[in-house]
Amino acid sequence: MRRDRETDPMRSAAPILLRGGRVIDPANGRDDVCDVLIRDGRVEGVGQNLGTPDGATVRDVAGLIVSPGLIDVHVHLREPGGEHKETIATGARAAASGGYTAVCAMPNTDPPIDDPASVGYVLAEGQRARAARVYPVGCISVGMQGERLTEIGEMVDAGAVAITDDGRPVPTAALMRLALEYSRTFDIPVADHCEDKTLSRGGSMNEGLVSTRLGLIGIPNASEDVMISRDLLLAELTGGRLHIQHVSTRRGVTMIREAKERGIRVTAEASPHHLTLTDAACDPYRTEAKVNPPLRAEEDRIAVIEGLRDGTLDIIATDHAPHHYDEKEQAFEDAPFGLVGLETAVGLMLTHVVDKGVLTLPQLIERMSVQPARAFNLLGGTIAIGSVADVTVIDPAYEWTVDPTRFLSKSRNTPFTGWPLRGRAALTIVGGEVVWDADGHKVKS
Amino acid sequence: MTRSASLLGKDLIGLEDLSAEAITSILDTAEPFKEISERAIKKVPVLRGKTIVNLFFEASTRTRISFEFAEKRLSADTVNIASTGSSVAKGETLVDTARNLEAMRIDMVVIRHGSSGAARFLGERIPSNVINAGDGRHEHPTQGLLDMLTIRAHRGPLDKLRVCIVGDVLHSRVARSNIWGLTKLGAQVAVCAPRTLLPHGIEDLGVTVFSRIEEAIEWADVLNVLRLQLERMQGGFIPSLREYNRVFGVTSERVDACPRDLLILHPGPMNRGVEIDSDVADGPHSVILDQVTNGVAIRMAVLYLLAGGAPDSAEVAKRET
């Protein structure tokens, strides 16, 4: 079953003509310099020397990349319950400024998003923000208690695009099996945060020499690997759509690769921080690098890069996890897990993935737009004529330095402060409406 | 004495951060301070007018009292804060506690905290000198130093000496400080414990691992026996205290079988009959009470040096009256 998402709540403004950009549309095999005309919220034309309709805004985007809108399938917007860290509105604006036209909001809020009414709330607040689209994700289990399934069908009807208990793993194999089987009716992905809590208990960083030196309890790779292994077996058993979040281990990548070769329905994420950092970033006690799953060893980082390169990891997702500065301003063990990622992902991926030759630009756009849309059945991921006008214009040459005080997110918890990066979103267009214009240095409010 | 003149930098967080020269210098400075505690009037004016806060977020008897004696014998004004009954118990954050103390214009903070990294955290946020009196499972540098001072007093230079740390290395800040300090001064260091109580990658710190206590004793010149926290059994790290004593206990039979005159240390408090038998703890190889005596001297030396005192003036400083 696929719900009709053709009714677009975003309202388009005047027609926009993007003139002379490098249009990269991997879903349609296009990569050439041409114009894109957007009208009434849709892509009306793609081609050379398009005429300018009356009243159209013409944007000269020569030298820039015109991409289908970027989609982040893994963000924490903290509303309801954690509004001091982020709200749906501030998160949607941070997303837009980072080049994202859509995000999937994780349900581990307070209270959790585990019924149709709360799904409706997230959807409505997202629409009010008029920035990036906000797709609600519902819980797998009632109250994220890991005991019984939520009303998945009703949540899907209310607008949920996937289910997960993210932040917590699904604790028992039996419940995970039920979730994968039951969700087949609605053809939605079941996303799991793979962690065996009995192996990671008390841990605050990767288990290795750094944790030994710092006297911090380590989280072994095996705590992630045993759950990935379990979930892959259950996906094979049930035929459900498994989505593995934020893969951080070499063994995890290998197992997913083998599962895909065997034809198991599984998609998986790589996070920008696992692609660029190791557990050395935690030393000495840098709470901004405290994240779960933890930053791992260099061999793991290389394996995650290799998984991204060969497509084992289909999707780049940030796991944007805002925390108030007071919460990170504590001893390492006492600080919460998580880092913000929406506003650094494009620069990090262009600088550390494309420039280093891991992926080509069209491949990067596949991992950040095409595959996320496909895996989660979302609008976008294409600039085909007639498709919804969710478009990101990227300036690949723009040089900047990460300065968290300039984030639109409410939170500043990034380990990338001071990193020199190349590339940023110049223009973010959602449903034909400009929601971020870097030259204007503001988001449309 | 000025702060900038300190050989150690602003804070003493761990022995990992110190050079061999700095460690030797602390040990050498402690020697003349030992004598002060033997006097009838145990006081010198080295830290007169300095204010020191002993900030203990975890229960401690030996370390807290040892620091307090060291401070008082150097004529500092001291305040003790325990977590229970203070603003900490009311939910105040570590950084707010520190800022409030700082606002009262203090000179030094001695901190004991249950979280690894807490001492460094504090040191990075306040201008006062910070001395780590034990942070989580990270380091307990003055304990490491007093262990080294004790070993040196009984066995001479630490270079080439074989020291085996026995017991719960995984959760032990004492073990880490010993490993850093001893290896920096050229000692050979080993650990011996059930594998469940050894941290991942401990070999990478340059230590040998013994799985059997008999082999460790046969190898070692010095045993530093760690306290086995009783909650480790509840945590499932070992099946029972009885089995621990059976397999890893430092018993008189095992010590007597040693071909060398073994030196035995224990940072305390001891679980007699668990990690160490009473006849070993009270026997001729044991220097456990010397450690306690040396602890005061080491802490006097650290306070003196952090306050900007010169190592070679310690002899003179203690005579100023």
- Give the residue on A whose Cα is nearest the Cα of B175: A215
pLDDT at A208 over 60: yes
For A119-140, write each residue's pLDDT tens digit: 999 999 999 999 999 999 999 9
Structure token digits, residue A6:
């053709």
Chain B residues 166-225 with CB within 8 Å of chain A: 173, 176, 199-202, 204-205
As beta bridge partners, residue B81 has B55
Structure token digits, residue A237:
């058993």
For A261-287, write each residue's pLDDT tens digit: 999 999 999 999 999 999 999 999 999
* Cis-peptide, bond into residue A293, ω within 30° of zero: yes
Interchain pair B201, A209: CB under 8 A: yes
User: A209: which chain B residues are within 8 Å (Cβ-Cβ)?
Assistant: 200-201, 204-205
pLDDT at A442 over 50: no
Distances (CA, A) of A313 to A244, A275, A304, A382, B47: 9, 11, 8, 20, 61
A281 contacts A415 by C-beta, under 8 angstroms: yes
pLDDT at A445 over 60: no
Instruction: For tokens 């605050």, name the residue.
Output: A204
Check A319, A390, A395, A437 and give the catalytic one.
Answer: A319
Interchain pair B117, A284: CB under 8 A: yes
pLDDT of residue B82: 84
pLDDT of residue B321: 54
pLDDT of residue B97: 87
For A166-195, write each residue's pLDDT tens digit: 999 999 999 999 999 999 999 999 999 999
* Interval A88-105 mean pLDDT: 98
As beta bridge partners, residue A400 has A421
Instruction: Work out the mean pLDDT of chain A and round it to a whole number.
Output: 95
Nearest to A189 by CA among A114, A268, A98: A268
Determine whether B176 is an active site residue: no
Other C-beta atoms lying within 10 Å of the C-beta of residue B100: 11
CA dihedral A269, A274, A276, A281 (to 10 degrees): 160
Pairwise CA distance, residues A62 & A33, whole Å: 8
ipTM of the complex as predicted: 0.92
pLDDT at A443 over 80: no
Interchain pair A330, B138: CB under 8 A: no
pLDDT at B3 over 50: no
A245 contacts A193 by C-beta, under 8 angstroms: yes
pLDDT of residue A6: 45
pLDDT > 90 fraction of chain A, expressed in percent and rounded? 96
Structure token digits, residue A443:
């988001």
pLDDT at B4 over 50: no
Write the residue in B93, B115, B200 that is nearest to A212 by C-beta.
Answer: B200
Pairwise CA distance, residues A418 & A167, whole Å: 28
Interchain pair B118, A331: CB under 8 A: yes
pLDDT of residue B86: 66
Determine whether A225 is an active site residue: no
pLDDT of residue B87: 66
Pairwise CA distance, residues A29 & A234, whole Å: 35
Nearest to B301 by CA among B310, B291, B289, B293: B310
* Interval A100-107 mean pLDDT: 98
Structure token digits, residue B285:
């190889």
Closest-CA distance of chain A to residue B33, Å: 31
Closest-CA distance of chain B to residue A332, Å: 7
**Residues recorded for chain A:** 445
Closest-CA distance of chain B to residue A247, Å: 22
For A330-342, write each residue's pLDDT tens digit: 999 999 999 999 9
pLDDT at A302 over 90: yes
Q: Which of A209-213, A422-426, B110-114, B312-316 has the lowest mean pLDDT?
A: B312-316
- Residues near A397 by beta carbon (within 8 Å), at least 6 away in sequence: A63, A422, A423
Nearest to B174 by CA among B154, B145, B152: B145
* Interval B178-206 mean pLDDT: 96
User: A283: which chain B residues are within 8 Å (Cβ-Cβ)?
Assistant: none
Interchain pair B199, A218: CB under 8 A: yes
DSSP A148: S
Check B29, B51, B63, B150 and give the catalytic one.
Answer: B63
Beta strands in chain B (DSSP E): 51-56, 77-82, 108-113, 129-135, 162-166, 188-192, 208-210, 222-225, 263-265
Cβ–Cβ contact B116 with A under 8 A: yes
For A336-388, write each residue's pLDDT tens digit: 999 999 999 999 999 999 999 999 999 999 999 999 999 999 999 999 999 99
pLDDT of residue A11: 54
State the sign of the Cα–Cα–Cα–Cα dihedral A258, A259, A265, A267.
negative
pLDDT at A3 over 50: no
